[in-house]
Amino acid sequence: MAIERILKDDASEEKGERARMASFVGAMAIADLVKTTLGPKGMDKILQSTGRGQSVTVTNDGATILKSLHIDNPAAKVLVDISKVQDDEVGDGTTSVVVLAGELLREAEKLVASKIHPMTIIAGFRMAAECAREALLKRVVDNKTNEEKFKMDLMKIAKTTLSSKILSQDKEHFAKLAVDAVLRLKGSTNLESIQIIKKPGGSLKDSFLDEGFILDKKIGIGQPKRIENANILVANTAMDTDKVKIYGARVRVDSMAKVADIEAAEKQKMREKVDKILAHGINCFVNRQLIYNFPEELFANAGVLAIEHADFDGIERLALVTGGEIASTFDNPESVKLGHCKLIEEIMIGEDKLIKFSGVEMGQACTVVLRGASHHVLDEAERSLHDALCVLSQTVNDSRVLFGGGWPEMVMAKAVDELARTTPGKRSHAIEAFSKALVAIPTTIADNAGLDSAELVARLRAEHNKEESNAGINVISGSIGDMSELGISEAFKVKQAVLLSATEAAEMILRVDEIITCAPRRREDRM
């Protein structure tokens, strides 16, 4: 007697070998997709949306590429997720983490084919990951106590992070800019107070860091263009003429004089509201919504600078950096917290006028103004700079630093190889495979630069068998170089996150032995 099907008609399931193959293939395909963006000579991808406006993004940021893909394969989605988490957690290493996870699965596939149980492979991977982390910990450098050296470390990390991005040509300039911005935060990892404004025009070299806060708005007509010792009220309130705001209400009048009465009443109401706002003793009023001509005129007469339609992101940040709170009712002036700053003035950037708030309460606040040829360049520059800022702000807290350029992977691979030799049983195969997967990162860096990766990685391995070697791949000269002399450094936190996330993701996909695709819920035909 045939067993009835348990699942509904539209559902499907794949078991055992086929399910595992589907997972491996999906994950490796995603890793191969972003592999070419790794390293200083990595290439960019163009992402074109098929929606309205057909927006185009040019990027080599792993997380941005993967975020934009609509993927059907469940294992591939796991890799997309780890790159997102890597981006949120430490900001950089989004491509490395996907490449490493993909390579681990490629090695695991060979082991599964030679009849080693996935659980044995996972046990081996766990041991190898722990051993690799220990090997890195032994070689970290921590210069937290020496301020001069620590700042140099930050500069090196910023330059290394930016060298694989669009900003690599001007990395000195942008590294300095990013380090200055992060050191102002005094150890906070909240990047809210660093604002990035993008203005097309000029070249990337013209970008600069400005103390204080810049709001992308113009000052109203007839209002003071410069205010010293400003008291700022940040508000989110309707400053348009108070129409009769009962929806569907109709007002019938029997003469034009009555219409004038209604208008006069509205004006009076508005005047009272403006008087209430002025009672706070302010000389700058920033509103999220529109301010109509009449209230604007009243503010101008009172010598108050009124800024309308400051977008929500703008007023949230402005309230944060000036130490004020966003108000929406004005009956109790004593309960409203005003923002303060030393000077408000109008400045010009390119063709545009903007408003600059300097000497704000929150000393950490600063604004990075990016200039560039087009919106695509600016968007990519912003992503690159954001990565650098994230990594630096994490490094200020966890100041352990490693060399870069494939050096950490070779250090880890060497330690893991030694562990494989001393481990009895089948697990040693998995540990060996882990070491091969780690070497894939320097291999990919060399491949992307058009170098002979087999030759270079073999020479690199020989170098690392000497005691305390600092050898890594020098992509510029196409040979092996000393990373301490070249000043190529990476944050320990980034490398640790790459190692642990990739191992966990590979484990998760290895455990799969069945994929069940559920049928979508049908809508009942409602009469």
- pLDDT tens for 3-19 read 456 777 777 777 878 88
pLDDT at 241: 63
Active-site annotation holds for 331 = no
Tokens of 55: 């927006």
Active-site entry in 59, 95, 367, 443: 95
Instruction: Give tens-digit pLDDT for 219-271.
Output: 777 777 888 888 888 888 777 765 555 566 677 778 888 778 877 888 888 88
CA separation for the pair 429, 433 (Å, rounded) = 6
Active-site annotation holds for 189 = no
Asked if the model's pLDDT at residue 479 lies above 60, the reply is yes
Average pLDDT of the chain is: 84
pLDDT at 2: 46
Instruction: Give tens-digit pLDDT for 278-290.
Output: 888 888 888 888 7
CA separation for the pair 393, 86 (Å, rounded) = 15
Q: What's the mean pLDDT in 467-486?
A: 86
Q: What's the mean pLDDT in 435-461?
A: 90
Instruction: Give tens-digit pLDDT for 360-375.
Output: 776 677 888 888 888 8
DSSP string, 322-349: HT--EES--S-GGGSPPEEEEEEEEEEE
Q: What is the DSSP letter of 514?
A: E
Instruction: Give tens-digit pLDDT for 293-306.
Output: 778 888 888 888 88
Please state, as a whole number, how many other Cβ atoms lie within 10 Å of the Cβ of residue 488.
26
Which helix (H) or strand (E) segment holds residue 408: the answer is helix 407-422
pLDDT at 1: 42
Print burial letters for 157-177: b (CB count within 10 Å at least 16), e (below 16).
bbbbbbbbbbbeebbebbbeb
Active-site entry in 37, 59, 61, 64: 61
DSSP string, 188-234: ---GGGEEEEEEEBS-GGG-EEEESEEES--PPTTS-SEEEEEEEEE
Q: Which of 82-96, 125-139, 312-326 has the highest mean pLDDT?
A: 125-139
Active-site annotation holds for 329 = no
Read off the pTM: 0.84
Active-site annotation holds for 44 = no
Active-site entry in 37, 57, 64, 94: 94
Active-site entry in 87, 92, 153, 387: 387
Q: What is the DSSP letter of 476?
A: T
DSSP string, 262-296: HHHHHHHHHHHHHHHHHTT--SEEEESS-B-HHHH
